[in-house]
Amino acid sequence: MQMTSIIARLDKSNLPLLIAYGEFDIPPVQDSVRQLVDALYARDGHLPLVEAVPGHTHISIVEHIGTVDEAFGENLAGFVELLALRAKQDAAPPCHPGLPSGPITQQPASTGEN
């Protein structure tokens, strides 16, 4: 069975990503992460969030979520909090109720002549 890289399956998506890999991942895994980040940059024009988790491999990162090992859990929780704040901001009314809607136009400066 031939493995297909996730990179070949990237489509245009606005899903937020946090890519994590382990400090002790073998070079082919680290290379795959690098290729994924490069492909996402080429697709989106900006880098995704990437974290190298100290003391772990890509498997042990997941195994330690919810344990006393907080090497990745705190950053994952921070990522989720950031997404929640963005969602809350996006859901907020577009304008303060006391301000007029529509574009703000600048009034001509007074020349001092009456």
Using one digit for the tens of pLDDT, what is the confidence trace for 12-67?
777 889 999 999 999 999 999 999 999 999 988 999 999 999 999 999 999 988 88
- The neighbour count for residue 81, using CB atoms within 10 Å, is 10
- The neighbour count for residue 23, using CB atoms within 10 Å, is 13
From 58, 55, 57, 92, select the one nearest 70 (Cα to Cα): 55
Asked if residues 60 and 26 have their Cβ atoms less than 8 Å apart, the reply is no
pLDDT at residue 81 above 80?
yes
One-letter amino acid identity for 8?
A
Q: What is the DSSP letter of 8?
A: G
Backbone angles phi, psi at 56, to 5 degrees: -135, 170
Q: pTM for the whole thing?
A: 0.68
